[in-house]
Amino acid sequence: MARQATVIGAGVIGMCVASYLQRMGLAVTVVDGVRPGMNCSFGNAGALSSGSCVPIAMPGVARQIPKWLLDDMAPLAVSWRYLPRALPWLLRFVAAGRPSSVERSADALIALTRPVFDNLLPLAKEAGVDSLIYRTGQLHVYSTNAAFEGDRLALDLRRRRGAAFEVLDAQEIRQFEPALAPIFQKAVLFPGHGHCANPFALVDALAAVFQSKGGKIIERRVLDIEVGADGPRALVTDAGPMPVETLVVAAGAWSHRLARRLGHKVPLETQRGYHAMLADPNVTPRRNVQWAERKFIATPMEMGLRLAGTVEIAGLDAPPQYSRADRLLEQGRAMFPGLAGGTVTKWMGHRPCLPDSVPVIGPSDRVPNTYFAFGHGHLGLTCASTTGRLLAELVTGAKPCIDPAPYRIDRF
């Protein structure tokens, strides 16, 4: 059995993997070019969605692409400049919207999301941040009955996988969330869902407890991986070589670059998302509220009200377009009339997305002692703890808590 492991990436995925590997008795080193939690895991909407299983590509997705190309402020937009590079990924994304593929993705996703609280709470408790985890439900709101009807297929996917929810009418919505504008006709309440009130603080605390138990976190950028017949030998980093035995690539939206060094070609694309964070807001919803047709989420956080969402396909290198965060703020004001507060901060992060919305978790079939944990897209915070547990079980040869087959890297 492996005794040591090195994890590339200190986002929520890498830190959950490292924490579970450490719990299973391995000496673990985490390598990241930045402080833990400072990339995509910093600014997400905090939703912990234990009944989520709806992939982003759904039947009929192809019909929507022209709209995404024509309006760069649409909830999902594709940059014209980046289109030639994104095209092969977009074609796979459209293919993933076939009903049979959607059902497969939904099965794979629900297995990861359902046990979120069981697998996350032990880590959060040990790190002293379980008070950040709320199980107060989530509300998905619709301003028209037609938008609600348009989501029937998604609700049906959830229902058939046992996700608990309740449909509310306009009057019930006002009872649940009195601060909402009286424009919402229908809502779906997910009582078993919840949220994390500070996603960065969660990763930071996981990193601190990991280090206090002897784990090492090294701030270096990995440039290449030296591989021998017996597996990975060393990481080539910006501060010199680092010997490795067992390797886990959990490098978020950058993982395909490292996977390629190991002989794997993976269709990973960044879906850039934004947030606008309002400190000292005069309005605080009781729970995480998602405006379904506008595709954004309002979450009560320790630091204020976070309005997060939107998808922009424009690659890893283009500068952020913060007008998208301004748009989130405008929409937040339409959602909560009179919304005001103190300082507004804006942020952009790279969601690591595979066409079928299912992450890669498991061993390389090409290089011994090498594992992957990336591609968690819109559900990385929710899926991180189950991913960490599953990956640690695969590395140590323990019985896996869920069937690892749907997450194989060789499915592409």
Ligand X SMILES: Cc1cc2nc3c(=O)[nH]c(=O)nc-3n(C[C@H](O)[C@H](O)[C@H](O)COP(=O)(O)OP(=O)(O)OC[C@H]3O[C@@H](n4cnc5c(N)ncnc54)[C@H](O)[C@@H]3O)c2cc1C
Which of these ranges, 66-74, 99-107, 144-152, 379-387, lies near ligand X under the rule CB under 6 A?
Answer: 379-387
Q: Which two tokens stand for residue 357?
A: 């919305």
Per CB under 6 A, contacts with ligand X among 261-280 are 273-275
How many CB atoms are located within 10 Å of the residue 73 CB? 13
- Asked if 380 touches ligand X (CB under 6 A), the answer is yes
Find the shortest distance in angstroms from Cβ 372 to ligand X: 11
Q: Which candidate, 102, 359, 91, places its Cα nearest to that of 251?
A: 359
Find the shortest distance in angstroms from Cβ 385 to ligand X: 11
What is the per-residue binding string for ligand X in 328-367, x denoting contact by CB under 6 A? Answer: ---------------------x-xx---------------
- Asked if 251 touches ligand X (CB under 6 A), the answer is yes
Q: How many residues bind ligand X (CB under 6 A)?
A: 43
- Asked if 374 touches ligand X (CB under 6 A), the answer is yes
- Asked if 232 touches ligand X (CB under 6 A), the answer is no
Which of these ranges, 67-75, 153-161, 172-180, 247-255, lies near ligand X under the rule CB under 6 A?
Answer: 247-255
**Near ligand X by CB under 6 A: residue from 5, 7, 12, 392:** 12
Nearer to ligand X, 369 or 382 (CB): 382
Find the shortest distance in angstroms from Cβ 261 to ligand X: 10
Nearer to ligand X, 186 or 275 (CB): 275
Per CB under 6 A, contacts with ligand X among 90-149 are none
- CA distances in angstroms from 158 to 113, 131, 172, listed in the order given: 12, 28, 22
Nearer to ligand X, 208 or 399 (CB): 208
Length, in residues, of the chain: 412
Which of these ranges, 33-41, 80-88, 128-136, 182-190, lies near ligand X under the rule CB under 6 A?
Answer: 33-41
**Near ligand X by CB under 6 A: residue from 58, 168, 308, 313:** 308
**Near ligand X by CB under 6 A: residue from 382, 386, 406, 409:** 382
HEC-encoded secondary structure of the chain: CCCEEEEECCCHHHHHHHHHHHHCCCEEEEEECCCCCCCHHHCCCCEECCCCCCCCCCCCHHHHHHHHHHCCCCCEEECCCCHHHHHHHHHHHHHCCCHHHHHHHHHHHHHHHCCHHHHHHHHHHHCCCHHHEECCCEEEEECCHHHHHHCHHHHHHHHHCCCCCEEEEHHHHHHHCCCCCCCCCEEEEECCCEEECCHHHHHHHHHHHHHHCCCEEEECCEEEEEEECCEEEEEEEECEEEECCEEEECCHHHHHHHHHHCCCCCCCEEEEEEEEEECCCCCCCCCEEEECCCCEEEEEECCEEEEEEEEEECCCCCCCCCHHHHHHHHHHHHHCCCCCCCCEEEEEEEEEECCCCCCEEEECCCCCCEEEEECCHHHHHHHHHHHHHHHHHHHHCCCCCCCCHHHCHHHC
Find the shortest distance in angstroms from Cβ 62 to ligand X: 24
Distance of alpha carbon 321 from alpha carbon 220, whole angstroms:
28
**Near ligand X by CB under 6 A: residue from 55, 309, 388, 406:** 309
- Asked if 222 touches ligand X (CB under 6 A), the answer is yes
Find the shortest distance in angstroms from Cβ 189 to ligand X: 17
**Near ligand X by CB under 6 A: residue from 5, 6, 7, 14:** 14
Find the shortest distance in angstroms from Cβ 295 to ligand X: 10
Find the shortest distance in angstroms from Cβ 91 to ligand X: 23
- Asked if 217 touches ligand X (CB under 6 A), the answer is no
Find the shortest distance in angstroms from Cβ 135 to ligand X: 14
Which of these ranges, 9-17, 53-61, 183-191, 330-338, lies near ligand X under the rule CB under 6 A?
Answer: 9-17
Contact residues for ligand X (CB under 6 A)? 8-14, 31-34, 38-41, 44-47, 221-222, 250-254, 273-275, 297, 308-309, 349, 351-352, 374, 376-382
